[in-house]
A and B are shown apart, each in its own frame.
Chain A
Amino acid sequence: MNPNHPTDDLVEQAIEALLNTAGSDEPPPMLVSQVRQAIAERQNARLVNRPTSGVPRNRVSWLALAVTLLLMVTSGWIVGFQGHLLSRIAGEQSTTNNQSYVFYTDGSVELRAPEAQ
Chain B
Amino acid sequence: MEDWDQIFGDFGPVVWKQTRRMLGNASDAADCFQTVMLEAFELSKRKKVRNWGPLLRRLAILRSLDRLRARYRERRDPRPVDEIAIAAKDSQASRSLDQHELAERLRFALTRLPENQAAAFSLRWVDGLSNEQVAERMQITPNHVRVLLHRARLALQGLLSDEGENRS
Q: Does B103 contact A (CB under 8 A)?
A: yes
Q: Does B156 contact A (CB under 8 A)?
A: yes
B94–A35 contact, CB under 8 A? Answer: no
A31–B21 contact, CB under 8 A? Answer: no
From the candidates B26, B102, B106, name the one contacting A23 in the complex (CB within 8 A): B26
**Min C-beta distance of A55 to chain B, whole Å:** 22
A8 contacts which chain B residues (CB < 8 A)?
94
Smallest CB gap from A22: residue in B: B100
B5–A36 contact, CB under 8 A? Answer: yes
B102–A21 contact, CB under 8 A? Answer: no
Please, how many residues of chain B have a CB less than 8 angstroms from a CB on the other chain? Answer: 42
Which B71-112 residues have a C-beta within 8 angstroms of A?
93-94, 97, 99-100, 102-103, 105-107, 109
Which A17-55 residues have a C-beta within 8 angstroms of B?
17-21, 23-28, 31-32, 34-36, 38-40, 42-43, 46
Q: Does B52 contact A (CB under 8 A)?
A: no
Q: Given A8-B94, A25-B13: A14 and B1 within 8 A (CB)?
A: no
**Min C-beta distance of A74 to chain B, whole Å:** 41
Smallest CB gap from A25: residue in B: B17
A9–B5 contact, CB under 8 A? Answer: no
B125–A13 contact, CB under 8 A? Answer: no
Which A47-67 residues have a C-beta within 8 angstroms of B?
none
Q: Nearest 10 pairs between A and B by C-beta? A: A14-B106, A27-B16, A17-B103, A17-B102, A17-B99, A10-B94, A18-B103, A10-B160, A35-B37, A21-B21
The chain A residues found within 8 Å of chain B, CB to CB, are 1-2, 5, 8-11, 13-21, 23-28, 31-32, 34-36, 38-40, 42-43, 46
Please list 10 pairs of residues, one from A and one from B, whose beta carbons are closer than 8 Å in the complex, sorted by A's number.
A11-B153, A11-B157, A14-B109, A18-B107, A25-B16, A27-B12, A31-B33, A31-B34, A35-B34, A43-B4
